Chain A
Amino acid sequence: MFETKSLMVLIPALPLAAAIIVGLLGRRWLKEYSHVPVVLALAGSCVFSLLLLKDISNREPDAKQVGVEVTHTLWTWAAIPAAGVTTPQIKATPNFQIDITLRADPLTCMMLPMVTFIATLVAIYAMGYMHGDPGYWRFYAYVGLFVFSMTMLVSVSNFALLYVFWEAVGVCSYLLIGFWFEKPEAAAAGKKAFLVNRVGDFGFAFGLFLIWVSFGTLNFHDAGDVQGVLGQTLLANPARYAEIITGSVALAIPLLLMVGACGKSAQFPLHVWLPDAMEGPTPVSALIHAATMVTAGVYMVTRCSPLFMLDPRAQLVVACIGGFTALLAGLIALTQTDLKRVLAYSTVSQLGYMFLALGTGSLAGIVAGMFHLFTHAFFKALLFLGAGSVMHGMHHIIDMRRFSGLRRVMPWTCLTFLIGSLALAGIVPLAGFWSKDQVLAAVHDRAHDGGPFVYLYYSAVLTAFLTAFYTARAFFMTFMGPLVVPHEVGDHAHESPPAMVFPLVVLAICSIFVGITFDHSLGDFIVRTPSLACTLVAGEHGLEHHFHWDIAAISTVVAVLGIAIAAYFYLGDRRQINALTRIMQGVRLYGLSNRKFFFDEIYHVLFVLPLKGLAALSYLIDRWLVDGLVNLCGWIPRAVGAVLRNIQTGVVQFYALAMVLGLALLIGTLLVWKVG
């Protein structure tokens, strides 16, 4: 009943309105009711997203248009006519025009419902979890702000605005991580997250500038006669891409965009901030650091897939980063004792999977990546919320060594956590299996013609095994074994209130059915996005689905093997695992994994200390050298004065003598000079 353009505006507007209302009124009036406007707004925008999804899905792309897209311009952000980029490719001097334009195409329509649905569930969950916290209203204001920024990030149609909401989402995560600002670790973690994101944005900004200089515009869509970077005209004949950006620029733009994506989605070089982000409240971790914000990087790479297609080396780099991060995160997650840290590293690992899929460079790979993103959002949010309810029960203690056998105390959390773990491990009926299968299939197809993709395939399988192992380990250590409860909790360890259990159940159901229902339909829907529909990406024959029995078999075997070994070690009396740990500690491998491969320390030594040293040095220079020079200039007149002071001896005859000498000098010059 709503017209498409008004839908597109309403989806981000509702959470913003709610955030402003709670922000202004929350402190004095709403207090404990400040969740009401936010939850309603999120639910509303979720319904609108579904309506938009239905509206876009039944639009048929006409012949000459590549894919389906609807753009709606709100107002002009900045317009500098003829800002002038003088490159041979661009004939007229383009003007620097940035308008606030929203777009709706299958890719956005897939992301919007996912984000809003999970956000609503998390908001409901947080009613229970954050109950009684003095900053209750502040939490919901930030959540509203975050969902607004995320929905805008996904539906904006200009690189500059993508950068804008890229950083806006970063700020919301800064505010939410540092929610309990009295805790110094939380404040430091918030700052760390923001700075690492900023480093990522450093690369992203340069990508932007290169695009502006090469294309003469930053718009995705075509605005008037200006051809958008991913506009219809360019996508119609992708050969012109090769003409516009050639050689090193073709490699530079995708890599720089990848740096931005790494910063946001916590990939290998810039992954250090995500585990520390666990300092924030758990609903935040569930919403932001599992389901929505971290996926922004994957969304952006998919959106710009035509740019990535230009240079195979770029795709390889993306794949390698993805594969390596997956493996690395998997290894670290093995020895983590903090349940949330385990889940954090599993998120980094699964994101690595998605980038690996995108890196294969085939349409099937991209679709697999997006599908894995879609399913991962659900079961990872479920796992985080499960961990949250454990913390809620265990008086905020999440160290797995302090408790075990909680299945008796929290049956519902245990059941839903089990479903989530199995989904993550990739057991057959559940969501994880189908999406991981598609990813492995894509990598397998690419591995046919040899080259590095073969090793990536093997590392992917190994990571699958590791994922299964550490998920099962986490589940067994928490819920299996004798009931041990940390002394602070005393005797009142309890199941979480219904407000927290309901989202768990809903997410569990989704984790079960999402995989099967959307296995093929999601792919067919996404392919109609303009950037994916163009021949450069889709190739001649588009997307065909065929189920790889062999890969499905391998992944299931590997998953079951992982769970079995975990069961062997962690069920029962754990003698073997303790022995194995001691061996590993002997050979220092255990420390390596537990201390997160010392990346934090490396970065501290490589970047933080040198810069602080340089800062101290430059302050010294400023105080002594630069200021010294200025004072020197100030000192010269005084020095000259000090010398000249001595002629004023006070004796009259000295003065008379000096006067006569001056006169003699004058007369001497006029005799010698003979001028005039």
Chain B
Amino acid sequence: MNDPFVFTLLLPLVGTMLVAAFGSTSHVGARITALIVSLVTLLFASRVTLAWLGGHPYEIDVPWFSNAAIDIRFNLGLDGLSVWMFALSALLTVTAILVSWEAIKDRAALFYSMLLLLETGMLGCFAARDIILFYVFFEFTLIPLFFLIGIWGSEERRYAAIKFFLYTLAGSMLTFLGLLAIVLWVYDQTGREQMTFSIAKLVAALGEHPLPLNLQLTLFVALFAGFAIKVPLFPLHTWLPLAHVQAPTAGSVILAGILLKIGTYGFLRFSLPMLPDATVTAMPCVLVLSGAGIIYGALVALAQGDMKRLIAYSSVSHLGYCMLGIFALNKLGMQGGALQMINHGLSTGGLFAVIGMVYERYHTRQIADLGGLARRTPMLAVCMLLFTFSSIGLPGLNGFAGEFLILTGMFQRAWSDAPAIYQATWMTIAVAGVFGVVLGAWYMLWLVERVFFGPLKEPGGHAPAPAAHGHGSHDHHGHAAAAHDDHSAIHDLNFREAVALVPLVVFMFWIGLVPQTFLAPMAPELDKVEAIVAKAYAKHDWKSVAKTEDELNHRDAEDAEKKTEMKIVNVVDQLPERGGE
């Protein structure tokens, strides 16, 4: 089985052992092994991605837990939705390792092995074509991140790690039930031979025998619980800022870069194709939530004093855009949403890396303590500016491509083909989306201005004598003698840090200038999902279903005992065993 897929997934696992072996003595050994392993995994991942793009995809389909009744297969394969996220996961792991080169000193072996375990989880999650395999990797990513945040985080790391773990686990338990119910329903409808778990077969089967609406709604709420927490959608986002602020830089880069996208990926992979009618019924509600998320995330980001918390809330706002795009349920919106998933990974991953580098130098994340760093570290300021422009959606960079498609899609949905009763609300959501862009520019540029521009102010060392400030006249020739004692050692971007950031910048420009190269591979898969949903949207009559917002709210699903009628068949286990196991 020289299938590169197996190598891509097995390598990080083998890497964990290697790191534990080499790294036990000093953190130098650990980080070098980890870097080598992640680079080789990146090589294999790109080989698999290019092979898929080249038209002859690799895939593995091995029975894992299958007997006469159940057929859970170790089924890996890429497709439109997951190809870019697969490659991005491998890339961001390399960045994460490079960024935590000096930062992590104690128990480095454990740190790097946890990082590599996390990479396996992510790669597996996007490549899984089997429901149970997806769920196994979906939950598997929790454990390494729990340790990453818990051991190497900052002050409140323990509370953050446990809250993050429990919050996501509670949601995903309900998603687990939902997925099982779907499998059982398909099993019942297709004549009870063997229970299939492969996503493609399930979608096809659900195409022929769709679930009844009220059952679909229950399952949608169950899936919504797990994925909406992961995204995080507006009311369920409170774990994110806590986890981000307390996580080490590498943890934040990967958490923001990849793990949040598993939520939106889940929606695109499971909720939309398998439960189309429920998606359409829940659409107004989710749109309101994501619209509110955009504005709310931006506003709260405005009021932050801690850099990481500000970026965390900005991700709440940006992922609000992704959800807006996906739940606009038209081609434009969905392609924009899918593209925005990648863009957000690059820009926010980069932002967290830069903030990590600032933290490495000044050991503070408070905006008030810093000022005018552009003079001390110009290259770092240039990178920060680049990532900021990408995240506020400056044209020419990747942020704009995604956001423009999403907002056009949403406007088109709200203006031309929205049902009468919802036209007003969807228009306000479209306006909120565009206004979110303005707010985004405000708090990001305000952050850059306070930290990187203005007179040089460093924590500890006294601020240098400010340059003479007459109105209109300024001294731009020589600089006031800056007597900062202990900060002379602060160095600008060194080679390692540059190598960590350069690939992100290259991809940002590439997506910004020619997004078509990234949209084209995603198109076929997204169009299939869009076709299913469009059919459901067409035959949906809007007036009858007045969906109350709280009924759909995830928290009820979590607490209330759900008493909805569900016709699910039992598991028939063939009596006499045909042939040996």
Asked if the two chains touch in their complex, CB atoms less than 8 Å apart, one says yes
Residue of B416, B469, B516 near A79 (CB, 8 A) is: B516
**A residues 36-87 with Cβ under 8 Å of B?**
75-87
- On whether the beta carbons of B472 and A338 are closer than 8 Å, the reply is yes
What A residues does B473 contact at CB under 8 A? 395-397, 488
Query: Which of B407, B431, B456, B476 counts the most chain A CB atoms within 10 A?
Result: B476
Residues of B within 8 A of A (CB-CB), count: 75
- On whether the beta carbons of B412 and A78 are closer than 8 Å, the reply is no
CA distance A181 to B476 in the complex (A): 10
What A residues does B235 contact at CB under 8 A? 626, 629
What B residues does A633 contact at CB under 8 A? 555, 558-559
- On whether the beta carbons of A187 and B332 are closer than 8 Å, the reply is no
B296 close to chain A: CB less than 8 A: yes
What is the chain A residue whose CB lies nearest that of B477?
A132
**A residues 76-112 with Cβ under 8 Å of B?**
76-87, 96
B302 close to chain A: CB less than 8 A: yes
Known contacts A171-B394, A199-B438, A206-B434; is A181 also within 8 Å of B452 by CB? Answer: yes
- On whether the beta carbons of B454 and A182 are closer than 8 Å, the reply is yes
CA distance A340 to B236 in the complex (A): 52
What B residues does A626 contact at CB under 8 A? 235, 237-238
Least distance between B218 CB and chain A CB atoms (Å): 20
What A residues does B166 contact at CB under 8 A? 634
Residue of B438, B456, B469 near A202 (CB, 8 A) is: B438
Least distance between A474 CB and chain B CB atoms (Å): 15
A167 close to chain B: CB less than 8 A: yes
Known contacts A168-B396, A184-B455; is A76 also within 8 Å of B516 by CB? Answer: yes
CA distance A622 to B293 in the complex (A): 11
Query: Which of A75, A167, A168, A629 counts the most chain B CB atoms within 10 A?
Result: A167
CA distance A627 to B372 in the complex (A): 34
Pick out which of these stretches binds chain B: A3-11, A451-459, A610-618.
A610-618
What A residues does B204 contact at CB under 8 A? none
Least distance between B14 CB and chain A CB atoms (Å): 38
Pick out which of these stretches binds chain B: A158-166, A418-426, A664-672.
A158-166
CA distance A340 to B296 in the complex (A): 40
What A residues does B167 contact at CB under 8 A? 630
A195 close to chain B: CB less than 8 A: yes
What A residues does B445 contact at CB under 8 A? 174, 191, 194-195
What A residues does B543 contact at CB under 8 A? none
What A residues does B332 contact at CB under 8 A? 80, 83, 96
CA distance A72 to B472 in the complex (A): 46
B423 close to chain A: CB less than 8 A: no
Known contacts A187-B454, A202-B438, A213-B415; is A636 also within 8 Å of B303 by CB? Answer: no
Least distance between A634 CB and chain B CB atoms (Å): 7
A412 close to chain B: CB less than 8 A: no
Query: Which of A208, A612, A618 counts the most chain B CB atoms within 10 A?
Result: A618
Residue of B300, B400, B434, B438 near A164 (CB, 8 A) is: B400
Least distance between A186 CB and chain B CB atoms (Å): 8
Known contacts A83-B331, A83-B332; is A209 also within 8 Å of B412 by CB? Answer: yes
Least distance between B442 CB and chain A CB atoms (Å): 6
- On whether the beta carbons of A181 and B453 are closer than 8 Å, the reply is yes
B519 close to chain A: CB less than 8 A: yes
What is the chain A residue whose CB lies nearest that of B298?
A615
Known contacts A85-B416, A395-B473; is A619 also within 8 Å of B300 by CB? Answer: yes
Main secondary structure, interface of B, reads helix
- On whether the beta carbons of A198 and B438 are closer than 8 Å, the reply is yes
- On whether the beta carbons of B389 and A171 are closer than 8 Å, the reply is yes
B196 close to chain A: CB less than 8 A: no
B36 close to chain A: CB less than 8 A: no
A180 close to chain B: CB less than 8 A: yes
A538 close to chain B: CB less than 8 A: no
- On whether the beta carbons of B331 and A78 are closer than 8 Å, the reply is no
Residue of B304, B330, B452 near A83 (CB, 8 A) is: B330
CA distance A397 to B470 in the complex (A): 9
B247 close to chain A: CB less than 8 A: no
What B residues does A634 contact at CB under 8 A? 163, 166
Known contacts A78-B515, A164-B395; is A629 also within 8 Å of B555 by CB? Answer: yes
Residue of B238, B300, B412, B449 near A212 (CB, 8 A) is: B412
Least distance between B475 CB and chain A CB atoms (Å): 9
What A residues does B456 contact at CB under 8 A? 182
B422 close to chain A: CB less than 8 A: no
A178 close to chain B: CB less than 8 A: yes
What is the chain B residue whose CB lies nearest that of A278?
B472
CA distance A74 to B408 in the complex (A): 23
**B residues 370-410 with Cβ under 8 Å of A?**
372, 374-375, 389, 394-396, 400-401, 404-405, 407-409
A368 close to chain B: CB less than 8 A: no
**A residues 187-218 with Cβ under 8 Å of B?**
187-188, 190-191, 194-195, 198-199, 202, 205-206, 208-210, 212-213
Known contacts A78-B401, A198-B441, A619-B304; is A213 also within 8 Å of B412 by CB? Answer: yes
- On whether the beta carbons of A209 and B438 are closer than 8 Å, the reply is no
What A residues does B571 contact at CB under 8 A? none
A133 close to chain B: CB less than 8 A: yes
CA distance A608 to B536 in the complex (A): 44
Contact with A along B143-184 (1 / 0, CB 8 A): 000000000000000000001001100000000000000000
- On whether the beta carbons of B330 and A615 are closer than 8 Å, the reply is no
Residue of B303, B330, B400, B472 near A619 (CB, 8 A) is: B303
B437 close to chain A: CB less than 8 A: yes
Query: Which of A75, A182, A616, A626 counts the most chain B CB atoms within 10 A?
Result: A182
Contact with A along B425-454 (1 / 0, CB 8 A): 000001100110111011001100100111
B532 close to chain A: CB less than 8 A: no
CA distance A132 to B477 in the complex (A): 7
Residue of B335, B375, B430, B438 near A182 (CB, 8 A) is: B375
A399 close to chain B: CB less than 8 A: yes
Least distance between A253 CB and chain B CB atoms (Å): 12
Least distance between B490 CB and chain A CB atoms (Å): 17
- On whether the beta carbons of B477 and A622 are closer than 8 Å, the reply is no
A240 close to chain B: CB less than 8 A: no
B411 close to chain A: CB less than 8 A: yes
What A residues does B555 contact at CB under 8 A? 629, 633
What A residues does B486 contact at CB under 8 A? none
Contact with A along B183-212 (1 / 0, CB 8 A): 000000000000000000000000000000
B523 close to chain A: CB less than 8 A: yes
A604 close to chain B: CB less than 8 A: no
Known contacts A84-B330, A182-B456, A183-B474; is A611 also within 8 Å of B438 by CB? Answer: no
Known contacts A187-B454, A630-B238; is A82 also within 8 Å of B331 by CB? Answer: yes
CA distance A167 to B330 in the complex (A): 27
What is the chain B residue whose CB lies nearest that of A613?
B303
What B residues does A186 contact at CB under 8 A? 453
CA distance A395 to B335 in the complex (A): 55
What is the chain A residue whose CB lies nearest that of B331?
A83
CA distance A79 to B518 in the complex (A): 11
**B residues 443-502 with Cβ under 8 Å of A?**
445-446, 449, 452-456, 467, 469-474, 476-477, 479
Query: Which of A82, A164, A199 counts the most chain B CB atoms within 10 A?
Result: A164
A286 close to chain B: CB less than 8 A: no
Least distance between A144 CB and chain B CB atoms (Å): 15
Least distance between B493 CB and chain A CB atoms (Å): 13
- On whether the beta carbons of A636 and B559 are closer than 8 Å, the reply is yes
A533 close to chain B: CB less than 8 A: no
24 CB < 8 A contacts A-B: A78-B401, A78-B516, A79-B519, A80-B332, A84-B331, A163-B395, A164-B400, A180-B474, A182-B455, A183-B454, A184-B454, A202-B437, A212-B412, A213-B411, A396-B473, A611-B299, A612-B303, A615-B303, A618-B303, A619-B303, A630-B167, A630-B238, A633-B555, A634-B163
Other 14 A-B pairs with CB < 8 A, given A183-B474, A630-B167: A77-B513, A77-B515, A78-B405, A84-B412, A96-B331, A163-B395, A164-B395, A178-B449, A209-B430, A395-B473, A399-B471, A614-B299, A615-B302, A630-B238
Per CB-CB distance, the 3 closest pairs between chain A and chain B, nearest first, are A164-B395, A187-B453, A615-B302
